[in-house]
Structure 1
Amino acid sequence: MMRITTSGALRAAIASTSRQATTTTLISRAAASTHAISNPTLANIEKRWEGMPLQEQAELWMSLRDRMKEDWAQLTLQEKKAAYWIAFGPHGPRSLPPPDESKKVALGIFIGVLASLAIFSTSRMFAKPAPHTMTKEWQEAANEYLKEQKSDPFTGIASPNYTGKGQVQSPPSNA
């Protein structure tokens, strides 16, 4: 694996360029903060915001933010409207959902319910029959066996005043 190293002169040039860019940005922001932002820059910001490059959006927001740090009475009406719209307007995560989104969600739910019903009915169709211990006769015989064994004599099936069904859970069989 080849390792790339930068020479000291190259690092100094990069740092110098970075400092110059930072200084230029700070100077331009300071200059922008003393003057109002031009009306053509802020005109129809609601329609142009989504199409603007991210760098331009960031620069506009930073200049508006710097203007808002001063007295708000000095801001123009266009600047106030633009600052409010950029901060709270329906764009980005606050944008309105597409008009057909609810139809897509309803269709997805319908398809999911149909798929689950198909899986359920298929599994029931190929399932084995109920075990022989689930018949009413078997469960009544289990009740008699528990009474003979005096199982749970205080509150259960072997108690003198028991009125429950005991082990019987199945509906009466038709066989």
Structure 2
Amino acid sequence: MMRTPATSLLRKSIAARSSVVPWAAARRAESTHAISKPTLANIEKRWEGMPLQEQADLWMALRDRMKGNWKELTVQEQKAAYWIAFGPHGPRAVDPPGTNAKIFWGTVAGLAVSFSIFGIIRYFAKPAPHTMNKEWQEASNELLIQQRADPFTGVTAENYKGPGMVQSPPKGQ
């Protein structure tokens, strides 16, 4: 088999990479040491007040620790990692007291404004058109009967029992 310069370079490259990988993995394992207890103490109470950079650094350190063997994590690290990932902070924070009352009274105020606007519009509205009185609608029915309009389902059908064009309620109701 004839070796070309390209295949020999490829073999050297693969050999170099395979010798570096275990060393890099061992180096990474050494750099992930346990996070100090004072750093993780009362993390639930201190998290919201911590600067964003400290929060990010702590989370990255915990994330690096979790990349290794989880049995090597201390109990405090496990609790801190769980609380940071799933605790009631940020978007999962509990609403402050009185939030439901504000929502309720805001809804009541919105409804009151809506009803008052509706009432004002109704008060200043023009009267109903003259075609909406009962006499006009009954006359429309008579015209439809004379013209034999819609003989299958309308007023002129054989067994029709509907009101026809009459929409106004009878007087007194």
Q: Distance in 2 between matches of 1:33 and 1:68?
A: 13
Pick the structure with greater CA Rg.
Answer: 2
* Partners of 1:49 and 1:57 within 8 A in 2: yes
Q: Distance in 1 between matches of 2:90 and 2:54?
A: 16
Instruction: Give the superposed CA RMSD.
Output: 1.7
Q: Which residue of 2 aligns with 1:121?
A: 119
Instruction: Give TM-score, length-normalised by structure 2.
Output: 0.80
Q: How does 1:9-158 map to 2 (within 5 A)?
A: 33-158=31-156
Q: Distance in 1 between matches of 2:127 and 2:31?
A: 82
C-alpha deviation, 1:33, in angstroms: 4.2
Q: Distance in 2 between matches of 1:61 and 1:41?
A: 12
C-alpha deviation, 1:173, in angstroms: 3.6
Distance 1:73 1:31, change over 3 A: closer
* Partners of 2:59 and 2:81 within 8 A in 1: yes
Unpaired segments ≥5 residues, structure 2 = 1-27
| Deviation sequence 1:34-64 (CA, Å, 0-9, x none) | 3110000000000000011111100000000
What secondary structure does 1:161 align onto?
Answer: coil
What secondary structure does 1:51 align onto?
Answer: coil
* Partners of 2:29 and 2:68 within 8 A in 1: no
Identity %: 66
C-alpha deviation, 1:172, in angstroms: 1.9
C-alpha deviation, 1:152, in angstroms: 1.0
C-alpha deviation, 1:159, in angstroms: 2.1
* Partners of 2:134 and 2:170 within 8 A in 1: yes
List, as ranges, runs of 4+ consecutive aligned residues in structure 1 with deviation greater than 4 Å.
30-33
Q: Distance in 2 between matches of 1:131 and 1:121?
A: 19
Q: Distance in 1 between matches of 2:164 and 2:41?
A: 81
Count of residue correspondences = 146
